[in-house]
Amino acid sequence: MLAEQKVIKLIRESMTGPSHNYKNIMNILSNNNLLILTEDGTYTIRSEAESEYMHSRIGAMKEAFEKFATPSDIGNIKKPRILDLCSGLGYNSLAALVQNRDSYLDLLEISSEMIFLSQFISSPFKEKKILDEAVNRFFHKKTMEKVRIFSEDARVYLQGENIPQYDIIFHDGFSPANDPLLYTVEFLGLLYKHMSSSAVLLSYSSSIPFRSALIEAGFHIGEGPSIGRKRGITIAAINKNDRRILSRLSYDDEKLIALSTIGVPFHDRTLKGSLEEIQNNRMKKRQYEKSRRDYLSTKKIKKDLIDNQYRKIYSDSTHSRDSILAMRKYKSMAKLI
């Protein structure tokens, strides 16, 4: 999924027009009511799904610090290599540089129009010049060692050659409900493959199928700060005892992931599937699960009208991954009795 098509069209026209028109793009978008001012004074835009913006209304820059850079503990990592997935207007990368100028950044954004627009977003942070230089070089087909920019399907990029091992991944795609391509078990498995032994992935999304997919891809998961929401951000780590996981998931969420059809994750087995194929395949899988003899309704799971052993499994476990896998195992064995 991309930004609103009106925005893309206007930016593309600016990109291909006379160079003196480049800097007018912010005025053009503002005059067409396509730039949305967030609460911290930074801008965002709508996506193709009219109900979804590229950033939270609390503030694009505020979100970058509070949901990504700060919880990653980037300031205490020596020369971290970061993948900024769906980098968009570059806020997350900017927050990373503000907190650690020794960072090595790979910005991955399928829309070249968003990359182009990012250089005209004003910022009080001097590190913005580093990103602007990287963008300028990108459009002149030159590279920077510390900040690299890639404009392609993330699924293609991560199957390429010479992909580095990342210490931090900012997973900032559109919501899995609207655009599940980057939330599938197979894609998350690609990310896992390219992460260092102490690496962490951070996402604003607390989606149940997303968290379920992370478990199937091999991650240890938990929550970070909630920032005004019921659930905290998702932190997925390679290391079970990663210090950045502030808490495990709630009993209610672990039950839903392990036992409910809501916890059926998205799959993209060829890593080439369309949005519609991925959504339809999950819908069919959920329908199949509901037809099984061991099916537990989401209503019963939420009301805890299930075997007391599941609560015991939760109580006896100290990590969400262990608990969820144990619940699934117990459910599969119970149906054989």
Least confident of 37-46, 132-141, 155-164, 249-258: 37-46
- pLDDT number for residue 40: 79
Quick one: pLDDT at residue 4?
A: 74
Tell me how far apart the terminal alpha carbons of the chain are, to the nearest angstrom: 45
Q: CA–CA separation, 20 vs 16, rounded Å?
A: 11
Residue ranges of E strands in the chain? 36-37, 43-44, 81-85, 104-108, 147-150, 166-171, 195-203, 220-223, 234-237
Q: What is the pLDDT of residue 51?
A: 53
Instruction: Check residue 21 and give its pLDDT.
Output: 60
* Tokens, residue 284: 């069919």
Tens of pLDDT, residue by residue over 72-117, are 999 999 999 999 999 999 999 999 999 999 999 999 999 999 999 9
Beta-bridge partners for 36: 44
Average pLDDT of the segment spanning 219-234:
88
Map out the domains of the chain as residue ranges: 60-248, 253-334
Q: What is the pLDDT of residues 77-86, one digit of tens each?
A: 999 999 999 9
Q: Tell the residue number behind the tokens 């570059």, with chain if given.
A: 90
Q: Which residues contact 140 (CB under 8 A, 6 or more apart)?
A: none
CATH fold group of domain 60-248:
Rossmann fold (3.40.50)
Q: Is the pLDDT of residue 204 over 90?
A: yes
Token couple for 119: 């250089």
Tens of pLDDT, residues 163-190 = 999 999 999 988 898 889 999 999 999 9
Can you tell me the distance from the alpha carbon of 56 to that of 63, in angstroms, rounded to the nearest whole number? Answer: 7
Confirm whether pTM is higher than 0.75. Answer: yes
30 vs 25: CA distance, rounded Å? 8
Q: How confident is the model at residue 235 (pLDDT cuts 50, 70, 90)?
A: very high
Q: What residues contact 141, with CB distance under 8 A and at least 6 apart?
A: none
Q: What is the mean pLDDT of residues 282-307?
A: 95
What is the tens place of the pLDDT at every residue in 151-162? 999 999 999 999
In Å, what is the CA distance from 105 to each residue of 81, 249, 254, 260? 6, 30, 33, 38
